Structure 1
Amino acid sequence: MAMEGRPVRLVLDSSVLLEPSASADGGGGSGEVALAPGAEALLRRLRYSNLGVAICYPEGFLERIASLYSFGYSPLPATSGNCSPNDLMLEWSRTSSCFYVTSSIDQSLFSELRNQDWRVLSVDPRELIFFSGPGNDCGELIKDPEVFKVSRLQELLLTLATLIKREIGSSSVLVVGYLMKQSREEDYAKAKVDMVLHKVTDEIVKIDPNSSFEFPKGISFSAGMSEIIRPSLNRFVEEHPDFCIIDPFRNIYPLLDRHQIQQILVQLQECGTEGKPRLRAPHSLKVNNFHDGKLEKQLAEAKLSFPLIVKPQVACGVADAHNMALVFKFEEFSNLTVPLPAVLQEYIDHGSKIFKFYVIGDKVFYAVKTSMPNASFLKSSSGGEPLTFNSLKTLPVATKEQLLETRVQDSKLDTTLVEEAAKSLKELLGLTIFGFDVVVQEGTGDHVIVDLNYLPSFKEVPDTEAVPAFWDAIRLTYQSKIGKSHT
């Protein structure tokens, strides 16, 4: 968050960040001092914002916290129990848009801050009241309409963003929210990007692949998602039809199922022209068990031959979605532990090189990464057993020696062909941001899409390219949504 042409300063009073007992005694005692619920998450998010943040506290615990999160440290002088802005804060008021956040009530401080054009926010679940007389515990309770009330610390950033937008007074500024697990949130925050969309798959705890795959049937979400977030969001969308979700849950749903992913990829078979490489989906077969007497015949009908890579049908959101195996002969199905139902997919020798494509709105980026070695290397090290691995943690990657042996057969990537496929996928999926993996088959030169996923991390794309594309994609999707709602 940032104001256009004018910086934003945010000062957090200690009463907002500390447990009430710690705030009451100043936090300087010998007892352990703890952050209030939600304070750690707030500090983590502010660390990567464009706001100038300072913590007001005389000494001790919060000074260490400020240093940990790379914030400025601004001690706030106190006289007879009353705080007053220091010289630094007064200087900020002349050059910046300033916000002061507190959970304690002090009318004289509020008045002085407002006289210096500060905005005051109070985080308190109760109705905002304060004592009219400084230091008078029995003073008259009165309300202050000029103090912005925030009932929970978790609502502070959204309230602050709304106030900043109001001060800018521009329709070009969008206030957006996000929902995802902490690790993915930090991936985006470190790139100076406040997250603007959800990754609902991070909140999935169980998927029943035998149910009808029509959102949200067959999916069990985390308690917070099931009981609070998703119902509230659904109600909000129903009440505000112009509201834009990037991307709708139903559009992401097919990417939870590897069998559905295969069906989507098959629709790209027309990509490519005569005399040039062909883009295709890998040959595959869905199976409900590994002991079906018809399995051998089904493999032949699906144009599948060994080795085969065996993947759970459930593609993401559950613990064993990435537990896979490479099977070199039919007998190895007998003791296979890959979760069922599963998708059997041809293993493609690709010179240990995989091309990771990222689609951000109308922009397409890619990176080259070392991948699994050719099947002959894997078979020699398997010991006559299926090779089991987790594709996120224990993926067998080619060694330097194996890379040298396959370099002479290195196939070139046809970027134009894959970019055409990316545009087709964008239309088929109805998504703003997604990724897919391509390998180039040795010998044939076929370009084969072996994986498709929603909201990848974009770690391989430079921030100077990914961040502008990211914001452009968000804005264009929003404008498209608003434009359709007004026609």
Structure 2
Amino acid sequence: MRTPATDIWARLSGASLSHARLQVQVQASSPAAPKCGSANAEQKARNRTQAWEIGISLPKPWPWGGLYDSCWMPPSSSIPPPLGRRRRWHCGPGWRSCCGGCATPTLAWQSAMQRACQLMSGNLSPTELMLEWSQTSFCFYVASRVDKGLISELQNQNWRVLSVGNECNIDVPGVLNVQRLQELVLTLASLIKREICGSSVLVIGYIMKKSREEDFAKRGAFPIYPSKDSLIFVPLSFELPLSLQLQEVDMVLHKITDEIVKIDPNCSIDFPKGISFSAGMSEIIRFVEEHPDFCIMDPFKNIYPLLDRLQIQKILVRLQELGAEGKPKLRAPYSLKVDNFHDGELDKHLAEANLSFPLIVKPQVACGVADAHNMALVFQTEEFSNLSVPLPAVLQEYVDHGSKIFKFYVIGDKVFYAVRDSMPNARFLKSSSGGEALTFNSLKTLPVATKVQQLQTGAQDSKLLDANLVEEAAKFLKGLLGLTIFGFDVVVQEGTGDHVIVDLNYLPSFKEVPDSEAVPAFWDAVRQAYELRRGNAQG
């Protein structure tokens, strides 16, 4: 059974395990009558979900690295393990003796960690354990119900106490009341910045779909305790007034395309005209328009061109400016926009665009809608009949590339790349098509070359890639797009050696880049983006 605090717990403890900046203890208990003195209150207590409390310990002093990582809770709790690499609980109150695997401490914190393990494997109650924390930490206590005795004791030990909700309606001096659970993370971030860390810390509010947030959190990219770049990350909730939340953050990190509801493809050259966003995203857009000095990463107008494959094509065509003698040709794929698949002069238009079969057919709208990734590989004109790819569409040359694709990621001023298996050469695809267009979803059902096909073609070796040339292109695109984080795909054409950039997207997951490199680069990029935006606003 999940408690109301499960999502908050997962977010807090996930940040802890990833970055060793937080210790979190949750003591879940059966519903108990609050000390309100009424039978009605007792009945409400029996009816409501499991009560919960969270203790948060921020070690002091904090040397921005080398802190120990520990997270524990009683084994009877129904709350699932936190996000992180180790999906199991460590030792804790009521648990077996410490196995020494609670964390990997540095020498500076060895004695503190040993003391923590002794406490956890002993017979101390959760309350006694939390009181012990205050000897070496700045501590917060958050609860869904008020226990005056415990709160008084914690306050005497300099704990900051927060209550969530006001079921008991008891006014306790020094207790900060948070009306709704969704406010908790932002409230904690604001307190950490204001009362512990100071103005040098930036609170970054983020908006993205849940699965994307979880991917970033699993990698430790969203700590609630300041990162080495003095960043705290908090989710913005559409269930709460956004204007108040935006006043508490220094910058917004967004994946605006996650909040697209509908796109009119006929308005693509005039985006954002024709785009319907969620109500929450629309409110953020209005807020930014009304507060031009407010920092966002990145400006919405810089992202709109990447929603349209025709606009992407026009951007990539400019890569020819980087041509140099003795280097491979760096280019965009040959392409043609079509509004219908039954144009009597289609063959003529294909020849004018330097296109020949096979062709890959893509919707002009590049992302943000369900069918943006529904594509087809067409081997002859007749196969355009009954094609299910949405119109308008872009016809693009299919580049034989030895079944390897190079995924490049620009994260601030750093460029990374990884090699992945890709679609086989056209002759293999044609032999398996059965005389029909081959349809697929590029995110879900992309036909990847088999081992046998790779052996028969001699899969492209990464040595064939001119990484320096592509890194030069990455810097060129960064200046052209005005984006902090983006990605693009490169294939090396068999025979010619042309380096063809076939895709361009904003804020990719960069999951192929090791966490040890990607996460620090991500934090650096966020900090640099803020300083650049703030400098431009003040200039």
Above 0.5 in TM-score? yes
Matching residue within 152, 158, 175 for 1:147: 175
| 2:78 match: secondary structure | helix
**Are the counterparts in 2 of residues 281 and 448 from structure 1 also a CA contact under 8 Å?**
yes
Residues 135-214 of structure 1 correspond to what in structure 2 (within 5 A)?
Answer: 143-144=171-172, 146-194=174-222, 197-211=253-267, 213-214=269-270
Give, in whole Å, the separation in 2 of the partners of 1:245 and 1:261.
Answer: 22
2:89 matches 1:65: no
Query: Over residues 418-455 of structure 1, what are the superposed CA-to-partner deviations in whole Å (9 max), with x where a residue is unaligned?
Result: 00110111111111111100000111111000011111
For residue 106 of structure 1, report the CA deviation from its aligned partner. Answer: 3.4
TM-score relative to the length of structure 1: 0.82
2:516 matches 1:464: yes
What residue number does 1:109 align with? 150
Query: Over residues 288-316 of structure 1, what are the superposed CA-to-partner deviations in whole Å (9 max), with x where a residue is unaligned?
Result: 10011222211111111110000011111
Give the unaligned 5+ runs of structure 1: 43-49, 76-83, 131-142
What residue number does 1:273 align with? 324
Matching residue within 82, 100, 122 for 2:163: 122
Residues 120, 353 of structure 1: alpha-carbon distance in 2 compared, 3 angstrom cutoff: same
For residue 115 of structure 1, report the CA deviation from its aligned partner. Answer: 0.8
Residues 9-408 of structure 1 correspond to what in structure 2 (within 5 A)?
Answer: 9-12=23-26, 14=28, 34=49, 63-65=77-79, 67=81, 86-124=127-165, 129-130=169-170, 143-144=171-172, 146-194=174-222, 197-211=253-267, 213-221=269-277, 225-226=278-279, 228-231=280-283, 233-238=284-289, 240-407=291-458
Number of aligned residue pairs: 440
Letter in 2 for 1:271: L
Give, in whole Å, the separation in 2 of the partners of 1:270 and 1:282.
Answer: 15
**Are the counterparts in 2 of residues 287 and 344 from structure 1 also a CA contact under 8 Å?**
yes
What residue number does 1:450 align with? 502
**Are the counterparts in 1 of residues 23 and 70 from structure 2 also a CA contact under 8 Å?**
yes
Give, in whole Å, the separation in 2 of the partners of 1:476 and 1:16.
Answer: 47
TM-score relative to the length of structure 2: 0.74
Give the unaligned 5+ runs of structure 2: 1-14, 55-67, 95-124, 223-232, 234-251
Letter in 2 for 1:292: D
**Are the counterparts in 2 of residues 283 and 345 from structure 1 also a CA contact under 8 Å?**
yes
Residues 390-429 of structure 1 correspond to what in structure 2 (within 5 A)?
Answer: 390-407=441-458, 412-429=464-481
Give, in whole Å, the separation in 2 of the partners of 1:272 and 1:178.
Answer: 39
**Are the counterparts in 2 of residues 373 and 397 from structure 1 also a CA contact under 8 Å?**
yes
Give, in whole Å, the separation in 2 of the partners of 1:235 and 1:408.
Answer: 49
User: For the aligned residues, what is the CA RMSD?
Assistant: 3.3
Letter in 1 for 2:306: L
For residue 164 of structure 1, report the CA deviation from its aligned partner. Answer: 1.0
Query: Over residues 56-77 of structure 1, what are the superposed CA-to-partner deviations in whole Å (9 max), with x where a residue is unaligned?
Result: x8x85xx1215577567669xx
**Are the counterparts in 2 of residues 16 and 101 from structure 1 also a CA contact under 8 Å?**
no
What residue number does 1:439 align with? 491
Query: Over residues 89-138 of structure 1, what are the superposed CA-to-partner deviations in whole Å (9 max), with x where a residue is unaligned?
Result: 11111112111112323333322211111111121268x941xxxxxxxx
For residue 379 of structure 1, report the CA deviation from its aligned partner. Answer: 1.1
Letter in 2 for 1:438: V
Letter in 2 for 1:445: G
Between the aligned residues of both structures, percent identity stands at 67
Residues 329, 8 of structure 1: alpha-carbon distance in 2 compared, 3 angstrom cutoff: closer
Residues 26, 53 of structure 1: alpha-carbon distance in 2 compared, 3 angstrom cutoff: farther
Query: Over residues 317-354 of structure 1, what are the superposed CA-to-partner deviations in whole Å (9 max), with x where a residue is unaligned?
Result: 11111111111111111221111110000001111110
For residue 239 of structure 1, report the CA deviation from its aligned partner. Answer: 5.8
Give, in whole Å, the separation in 2 of the partners of 1:66 and 1:25.
Answer: 27
**Are the counterparts in 2 of residues 198 and 246 from structure 1 also a CA contact under 8 Å?**
yes
For residue 35 of structure 1, report the CA deviation from its aligned partner. Answer: 6.7
| 1:426 match: secondary structure | helix
Residues 430, 389 of structure 1: alpha-carbon distance in 2 compared, 3 angstrom cutoff: same
Residues 180, 297 of structure 1: alpha-carbon distance in 2 compared, 3 angstrom cutoff: same
**Are the counterparts in 2 of residues 15 and 103 from structure 1 also a CA contact under 8 Å?**
no
What residue number does 2:98 align with? none
Give, in whole Å, the separation in 2 of the partners of 1:236 and 1:408.
Answer: 50
What residue number does 1:139 align with? none
**Are the counterparts in 2 of residues 315 and 321 from structure 1 also a CA contact under 8 Å?**
yes
**Are the counterparts in 2 of residues 10 and 51 from structure 1 also a CA contact under 8 Å?**
no
Give, in whole Å, the separation in 2 of the partners of 1:243 and 1:98.
Answer: 32
For residue 458 of structure 1, report the CA deviation from its aligned partner. Answer: 1.2
